[in-house]
Every structure is written in structure tokens, then in C-alpha cells.
Structure 1
Amino acid sequence: MNFLLERDAPFSKSIIWKLQRDYFEERGFDAWRSGEVPHYVTSNPRIAHAYAQMLVATYLDLVRSGFTNEQPLHIVELGGGSGRFAFYLLKQLEQLSKQHDIPPDSFKYILTDFTQANLDFWKVHPCLQTYIQDGRLDMAIYDTSDSSSIPLQIGGHEIQEGSLTLPIAVIANYLFDGIPHELYFFDRGESHRCHVKVNCEFDYLSGNSTAGEVLSGTYLRYRKEDSADESSGDAHVDALLSHYRNHLLNGYVLVPDLGFACIQRLQALSTSGILLLVSDKGHVTTEECFVSTPPSLARHGSFSLPVNFDAFRWYFESNGGSAFLPQPHHESIVTACYCSFDAPVATYHLANAYANHVGVCGPDDFFGVYTLLRDHPHLLELQHILSALRVSLFDCHQLNVFLPKLIELAPDFSQSEKKVVSQVLEQCWYNYFPLGENNDPISKMANLFYEIDEYPRAIHFFELSLSLYGKDQGTLYNLAACYFQSGSLEKSVKILQEILEAGYYPEADVLLKRCQAALMEQSTILI
């Protein structure tokens, strides 16, 4: 069936944005746990390393330009989602601060989202506890649509207009692609605001369908206003529209009016300006932003649209700021850096950090290589895998892709190779941020430790798997096998009996008999 959800509304006011918000409120943290909302490309150690380099570079530029460090540099992540990116960035900041002899309390990280459920998850996550307890991490509800302050839920105080003496650093990964935009059609130097009609395969008003289901079944029809639009009611948007009209290009353009307003409200919290770091899919040049057909929604539980990075460049540069953008033709994401400081700041370190860690070989390049390796693991040998993991900065997600191949190769490892593999496993474990996904990498890591004869570590990781992912017959059997190989026969017997009490498990039955025979032999020797 076909249900009318909305007859006619300006694109930025459409019901699709309410459905988007409802989706995240309904799904909460499970949107990321289930993999419905893609986030790996913006939540891995490599992209966190690039961001940490730019943040430390900004701090050094500010100090070099005469700013005092009476307050820390506040880093506000908008739409923090799973919290995984924050974990990686805090680790990278910690390491880089030591290298540059910067006091660890020089940075204050604030994770934000508009749903309390996500904050409640972050507050108790074991990987974040150290940073919470030493004051380097706080959390707040922040709504990009209207929040004008940041009420910290752990520290207890509120960051208000003019509270910060250093510029505020803002991180917006996969954020601007999912919040309301205006849509305009440009034709021969005129701009026309676009409206949308929304139909759906599901009856949204009945209340029997989730927001995700409704979004998956929506389809949009666009129309442009007949009369040219001369004023939007927002001075920044009006100036951008005038700028685009002067290009005399034709096509549809997404205008991030809410993004501009959000940046203005955040910048008002500091007396010194703003640094904005963004990774998202989108268009970099003015010409790329003009498209011949209306935008289609990329659906993944929620939906997303391409970000107009050129509009943000124009916004910052027209307000006396700077923009660092990559060359066009990025395949997966664009990583951009924008800054506007109220006092003269020589951004020497920041420019170099962006050039070296984004411009030359950035997060998009890393993700491109990763996808190639992910799709062809059968072609890889040990040295290829070890090199990939080192380049990834020992990313546990990437390790999980390679674990089946490593287990397959393990019987032929030399002793020196086993030692290296063991070290790599430990380094990847150090970077693991569990979300409770269905795919359990810890059990696979334990299997690899078993294959390289590291039985104590295998036992430790099997026990970790059971504590994080719950009881699993296969994991219990493997743990029993480890105890058998390490000579802890009584422990092995106890686990095997537990397995068999739950149901018949042929391998467990066979191993139990071997354990009992070995115990009998031991008792005979003692007699």
C-alpha cells in the first residue's frame, strides 16, 4: 500500500527529519551495536590519530601565539554515538601529549548526544572509566537544533556563552549528513527553495511501524517554488545563496542552515574562536555541490545526505577563518578542518598536521586499503597481515577480519613468528572497545593464542569472552581444551561436565573421557 505522510513542506521542515530523530531515540545504542548505522570509517585508531595530531598542533599554535593554558582545550564531540571514536582519540592524545611534554590535563573531552541512553552507556563503559575518574572526560546532552550551552553531567557545571578562554574544538563525524538542510534549485542566477512530498509503504500514523521501518519505505517527490527566493531569514544563508547565484551554475544544492546555526552557538561558548574537525561523505568544490537531480537518501537504518563542505569553507573564510580541505574525488569520506580564531594565530603546526595526516595519506586512503584487504583475506600471508595491523595502529576491528586467516596459517608459524603474533594480539586487545556485537573477536583471539601454544593467554581470553558475550558451548569447550593442554585436568572436567549437562556435545564427551583417563593414570602413578 501507499500512504501519504506529508503533502508539501520545505525540505528542511519535512517529516523525514522527525523520523530520523525518532529512529535514534528508538534504537539508542543498538543502532551502532547492530551495525545498522555505519561507523567504522570514522571510528578507528587511524582516523583518531589524525585528529589527535591536529588537536595537539592547534594547542601548540595557540601556546606559540601567546594563549595561556589556565583552562584546558575543550574538545566537544557532537553525536558521539557508540563512544568508540572518543576512546581512540583519548588514547592518541595521551600518547602525543607525552611526546610533546604537554600536561595530560591540557585537554578536556566532552562526549555529547541528544539521547540520554547513549550517555548512560558511556558512563559505565569500562574502557572510559580511567578518563572519567581523572577528569579528562565528561558528557552532556547537546542538541544541534537548539542547544546554546553544555551542561556537564559528571563535572556538574555548565559551559555557557563566553565560558571558555581558549577556542572550542568541535568534532562532527557523520553528523552534518543527518541533520536538517535546506534544498535550493539554482537556475540562471536565481535560487528557488525546494519542497518535498513524502509517501511511504507503511502506515506511520497507525503506530504499528517503527521509525526505521517507515524510513526504509519512504520515497520523496520534490518541487521547487515558482518565485525566486531572495531571503531565507538568515544572514549567513542569504550571503551564501548570493555567492552561489553569482556562479551562474544550474542544479540542486544542499545548504546546511542548521549546521551554520549550530557552529555559531558553539563558537559563542568561547571568547577566542572555534576549531571544527569533520569527517563525512560529501562534496568539496563549488562545482561538485551543484547536482542535476534532487538528492536521494542513503538508507542504513537512519538516512544520510552528502555534506556541502564547500558551504562550510565559505562560511569560515567569509568570517575571517581558514579551511583545510583534501583534493576532490575521495571515495568514502572527506576529512576537513576549519578554524576561526578571534586573535591572530599562526596555524603553522595545524597546517602541517593536516597536510601530513590527511592531505598526503588520510582516513579515506586508509579505509580504501582496508576494504581491499577485507575483501581478499585469502590472498594474504602473515607478513601482509602484520603490516596491515601496524598501519591500522593495531585496530581490533581489522584484526577480527584477519583472525580466520591467521588461525589457518598458525600451524606453520615459526617460534619467532609466534612471538610476534602474540605481541600483536596484546596490542590489538589494548585498543578493543566492546560494543556487545554479535561477532565475538575475543573468542577468536583466544583460539589463535591456543594455536600458537599460548595456553595461559588463551584461557584468559576465553574467560574474557564468556564474561563479555555470555556462555557459549563452543567457547566453553575451547576453554576446557586449554585447561587440558595446560595440565589443569580437574578444571577441564568441571567445564566439560557443565557442557554435557546442557545437552549432548560429542567433542566434549570425547575430551571428558581423555581427561578422566589422564586423571586415572595420575592416581595410579601416585599409588
Structure 2
Amino acid sequence: MNNYMSFSKSPIWDLQRRYFEEQGIEAWRDSEVPYYITNNSLLANAYVEMVFGFLKDWARDGNDVKEPIYLLEVGGGTGRCAYFMLKSLESLYMLTTESLPPIRYIWTDLPQKNVDFYASHPRFATFVQNETLDFARFDVEQDNELYLIHSKKLITTSSLTQPIIVIANYFFDSIPQDLFFFRNGQAFECQVSLEQPEPENTDSITESLTNLQLKYGYLRVETIDTGNHYKDQLLEEYQKQIATSHVLVPFVGFDVLERIRRFSQVGFMLLSADKGPCNLQELDGLDTPKLVTHGSFSLNVNYHAMGYLYELQQGKAHFPTHKQSHLNTVCLLMVPNADAFGETRQAYARYVDRFSPDDYFQLKKAFFRHLDHMDFHEILSFLRLSCNDPRLYVQCLPRLLKLSSELRDADKHTLFTLTEQVWDWYYDIGDQEDLAFLIGTLLYQMDFYEEAIEFYQNSLQKDGPLYYNMGICYYRLMKDEECLACMELSLGLDPESVDAKRIIHELERNDI
């Protein structure tokens, strides 16, 4: 553990890999690994607007509009970004009058059990059936081909005649990175050794990562020679421009993109969201990186380096023009005439630079500070701003429940319509509250009894309170037989329920 080695070759990356392979979707179900900031409907909508801008640019340049363009998500995680994007793409294709290439979304991840789980998820079934969606296991550090499990198609070098669109959320921060130290025009490779403060007596990868202490050593770089001309130019630029700083450099991430780029004959577009610097000034004065542990661990992503590496090759990087607090959303174009992709540039300006996903999350903090005092219309306005994000809706439900009984009929119908839209966008992996039950309760309070029953039937609870609530809905609808059946189920699951006993006694007394 005490041997020094290159940061990108450190055993921490093997622990990281093992964590995700062993945990599978459990990493997301218990929220041990944060994901919401890059798996919400607002970010997905911003991505889709840029994708659509890209499709328009590609079509207007006289390129093929019949052959599909593949959209490849790497490290797909929860699957929510994919679902939100597919729903949004479906809507935009219905609205457009232009002839645009169809999209084929390919969801990938490292653990095979994740791929198997999401490939059979009921929310994805329609998209799989209409051949809009497929799945593949993809080891980004090793694989040079993709095998699509539904279409049985093998994608290899130059398989695709159209450009490929890459989605990478909280991805580059979780794969190996190199680390350099620059000072006074000199460059040093930072090497690392790992130490445990106490003997390791746990099989928990999370505990191992949390307890690790990193020790750094510095190896003077006499001559910059990585074996890649563009990487060399990047390090030379940093050597000249950075006064004193430790700089993470995503050479492995660059190699991943180059491997993906070879699938296509014409290049790629990258859409990525993560924490990390986009300009050179942010790279100066940095200390050694600290591992942020949350089940796995993460580091910042040097987006400036990625933009620099591709702009050396006539690519185009779109970065925010104002500093982001937590999350940078970036767009890299590596296609012929990248500077001429005006629709893509405008979409980035509208949906990221003008008001970014990071700006939304800053505003969301203020929203929650005042939520308990907000009225119905203020809450609905913010829900619409979020693109009807299901998680935000769940967080607003307690306030909406308090307000619901006093709403006018027109407002009740407005809330019901929005609720249906939220449900349509809801994607369950077993990590959130039972949304169907919560919606059923809201609709019951608004006197939407038949609709409440439908949601209760979709609930996962199947306990006494569920059947009691369903029974009350039937009671209000004067469907006594159905009410009695529900109350008997409720009493069977909760024998102490005084209310269920009372309703049963009343119905039996009326001799239904």
C-alpha cells in the first residue's frame, strides 16, 4: 500500500470499480451515491434541446436524415436521465415539421446486472418496442465494441455513418484521472501511495475508501512526452500558464471519448454535467485533491482540458460564461465544421448559459425555504419551471395536501392535469416514497375518487391504510360492495382499525 505510483494507476480506482460492480442499482436505491442533480427532468430537457439543435444543424448541412443517429449514455446509473430524455424527445419529434434523423438511444453501464435490470424496466418497454432504445454493457476503459442486447447489433470501429451523441453525467469524476503539479514553469507528475490509519478489518469498500489516506510524491517531468501530440500540448500550456497548482487531467476520459469517437466515421457531440473547472483561471492555486466519499468517491472534472484537447483538433467547446456554484453543464462538438453548428450553439445559450441547471438548483434552495408559506399558483409555477420533475413534486406534496381542500374546482383540475403529467414522467427504481399512494391521497382530498382509486391500485404498499383509503373512495362513490371488500382487506391487514370496523358494521347494517 505504501508504494508510490501514478495517480491514474492507484488502487483507489480498482476499489471504485468494484464498488459499482458489487452494488449495482443498490448504490442508487439507498441514495448512498448522489445522482439527482444530473438525473432530473430540467437537465434532461436542456440536453434534449441541444440534441434537437444538433439534429437540425446536421440535417440542414445536407446530411443523411434517414439513417438514425445513436445517442450513447455512458455510466447510465439510475436510468432516469435516459427516461426523461426519451419522453422529451418523443414530444419534440411530434411537434417538429422538419425532416430530422431518428434517434436510437443506447443506455450503457459497467455492471451487467444494471443492464439487465433496466433492459426489462416497464417504463422503457414502449421505447424498446419501437426500437428507439437499446442497452449494452460497456467497460469504457477496455471495450472497443458495443453489443446491443435487443437488436443484436454489434457496433465496432466505423460502424456508424452518422455522428454519435454521448451523454456523460457524473461520469468523468468517477474514472481514473492523472494528476500533475505545476510551479514556476516546471511540471511534476504527482504520484500517490495509500495508507490505512488502522489495520483494515472490514469487507466494506465504502469504509476502505473512507479510511484511506493519500500521500503524494512528486516526479519531475524533464521532457513532456505522453505519446500523444495533443496531450503534450495541453501539458505544455499548463506548464507555461499555471503559476502554482495541482491539476487533475482527464487523460483516461479523453481516451474513452476517442474510443467512442472511432465508432463513428464523422465524429461526436458530448453532453456532460459534473463539478469542475471550465477555464484556465480556475485551475490555478489548487491543493492536492480530496476524495469526496459517498459510497464510492468522486473528484472534480477538468472540463477545460477536454475543451482544449478537442479545440486543438478543430472541435468546439461550449462552456458557461458565468461561474457555476456546483454543476457545470458542457457541450463539446467534434464534427466537421463544428463552428457552423448554430442551432446547437443557440440551444446551449438558451437552456444552459442563460439559466443553467446549476442556477435552477440555487433557486430551488430559496424555494424550499419559503415553501410552507407559498400559495398554490406559486408552487405550480415552480413545478412547471422544473419541467414537472417528479422528485420536486413529491417534496411539494405535503404543502399541496394542505392547500388542496380549499382549492376552487378549476384549480383542482389544473393540479390534476399536472399530476397526470408528473406521473407520466415518474420512473421508479425503488428508492423513493410510494408516489402512487401519495397521489391517490391528494386526489381523494380533492374529491377525485375514481382517479384516486386508479392510483391506489398502482401503489406498492398493499397494507391496511391503502385498502382503507380505497374503501373510502368507493364509499363516496356509493359502491358499497367494492367498499366492503376493501374494508375487509384493510381489517385483515390491520385488525385494530376502528374506522374499518365502523364502515363494515355500517354496510352490514344496511344489508348490502
- Which band: TM-score by shorter chain? over 0.9
CA shift at 1:363, angstroms? Answer: 1.3
Q: Distance in 2 between matches of 1:92 and 1:478?
A: 34
| 1:280 aligned partner | 274
Q: Distance in 2 between matches of 1:418 and 1:167?
A: 46
Q: Deviations over 1:219-275 (max 9, x none)?
A: 222222255463334433222111111214211000001011111111111111111
| 2:487 aligned partner | 496
Q: Distance in 2 between matches of 1:375 and 1:144?
A: 41
Q: Distance in 1 between matches of 2:66 and 2:337?
A: 17
Q: Deviations over 1:187-225 (max 9, x none)?
A: 111111111222236755x6x422122222222222222
Q: Distance in 1 between matches of 2:112 and 2:100?
A: 28
| 2:470 aligned partner | 479
Q: Which runs of 5+ in 1 are unaligned?
A: none
More displaced stretch, 194-203 vs 242-251 = 194-203
Match of 2:384 among 390, 399, 424: 390
Match of 2:216 among 217, 222, 229: 222
| 1:458 aligned partner | 452
Match of 2:183 among 181, 187, 191: 187
Q: Does 1:46 align with 2:37?
A: no
CA shift at 1:478, angstroms? Answer: 1.9
Q: Deviations over 1:52-78 (max 9, x none)?
A: 111111111111112112421111011
Task: Check the 8 A contact 2:242/2:283 in 1, yes or no.
Answer: no
- Pair 1:502–1:70, CA change in 2 (3 A): closer
Match of 1:370 among 358, 364, 371: 364
| 1:164 aligned partner | 160
1:37-116 alignment to 2 at 5 Å? 37-102=33-98, 106-116=102-112
Query: Secondary structure at the residue paired with 2:31?
Result: coil
Query: Secondary structure at the residue paired with 2:287?
Result: coil
- TM-score (structure 2 length as normaliser): 0.95
Q: Deviations over 1:27-66 (max 9, x none)?
A: 1011112111111111112111111111111111111112
Seq. identity, %: 32
Task: Check the 8 A contact 2:464/2:494 in 1, yes or no.
Answer: no
Q: Distance in 2 between matches of 1:331 and 1:26?
A: 32
Query: Secondary structure at the residue paired with 2:247?
Result: strand
- TM-score (structure 1 length as normaliser): 0.93
Query: Secondary structure at the residue paired with 1:80?
Result: coil
Query: Secondary structure at the residue paired with 1:178?
Result: coil
Q: Which runs of 5+ in 2 are unaligned?
A: none
| 1:510 aligned partner | 499
1:22-421 alignment to 2 at 5 Å? 22-102=18-98, 106-200=102-196, 208-226=202-220, 228=222, 230-342=224-336, 346-421=340-415
1:426-465 alignment to 2 at 5 Å? 426-465=420-459
Q: Distance in 2 between matches of 1:382 and 1:229?
A: 65
Q: Distance in 1 between matches of 2:14 and 2:237?
A: 30
Q: Distance in 2 between matches of 1:168 and 1:280?
A: 20
Task: Check the 8 A contact 2:65/2:101 in 1, yes or no.
Answer: no
- Pair 1:164–1:227, CA change in 2 (3 A): closer
CA-based RMSD of the aligned residues comes to 1.9
CA shift at 1:410, angstroms? Answer: 1.5
Q: Distance in 1 between matches of 2:456 and 2:438?
A: 9
Q: Distance in 2 between matches of 1:231 and 1:325?
A: 28
CA shift at 1:344, angstroms? Answer: 6.7
Task: Give 2:211's aligned amino acid.
Answer: G
Task: Give 2:303's aligned amino acid.
Answer: F
Task: Check the 8 A contact 1:61/1:345 in 2, yes or no.
Answer: no
- Pair 1:292–1:352, CA change in 2 (3 A): closer
- Pair 1:145–1:213, CA change in 2 (3 A): same
CA shift at 1:299, angstroms? Answer: 1.6
Task: Check the 8 A contact 2:66/2:101 in 1, yes or no.
Answer: no
Q: Distance in 2 between matches of 1:513 and 1:92?
A: 48
Task: Give 1:127's aligned amino acid.
Answer: R
